[in-house]
Structure 1
Amino acid sequence: MPYVIAPGPLRGRRPSYAGRWQAARLSPLALTVVIAAFAFSTPREIALSRLLPVAPALAAAMWPVIPTLLLGAGCLLIMISLSFFYADLGTQYTSAAIVLVTLAAAYASHVRRQREEVLFHIRLVADAAQKVLLRPVPCRIEGVEIESLYLAAQEQARIGGDFYEAADTPYGIRLLIGDVRGKGLSAVGAASAVISCFREAAYDEPDVTGIIHRLETSICRYSAAFPGQDLPERFATAIIAEIPPTGHLMRLLNCGHPPPLLVRDREVHVLEPSQPSPPLNLAPLIGDHYVIDTAAFSPGDQLLLYTDGVTETRDRAGEFFPLTDWLRRQEPMRPRELLDRLHRDLVRYSGGRLSDDVAALALRSSEDAAEQTADGGRGL
Structure 2
Amino acid sequence: MSAGRFCPQGARIAGLLLLAAALLSGCAGLPQVDAVRAARDRDQLPRRVELADVPFFPQQEHHCGPAALATVLVASGTAITPEALAEQVYLPGREGSLQVEMLAAARRNGHIAWQLAPSLVDVLREVAAGNPVIVLLNVGLRPMPFWHYAVVIGYDLDKGEVLLRSGDQRRKRVPFAPFDFFWRDSKYWAMLAMPPPRLPATANEAGYGTAVVAVERLGYAAEARQAYEAMLARWPESYLALMGLGNSLHASGRLAAAADAFRRASLAKPTDAAAFNNLAQTLADLGQWREALEPARQAVALGGPLLETSQSTLSAIEREVARLPANKVRKSSKKGEKKARNP
Scaled by the length of structure 1, the TM-score of the pair is: 0.23
Higher strand share: 1
Greater RCO structure (CA 8 Å; 6+ sep): 1
Greater C-alpha Rg? 1
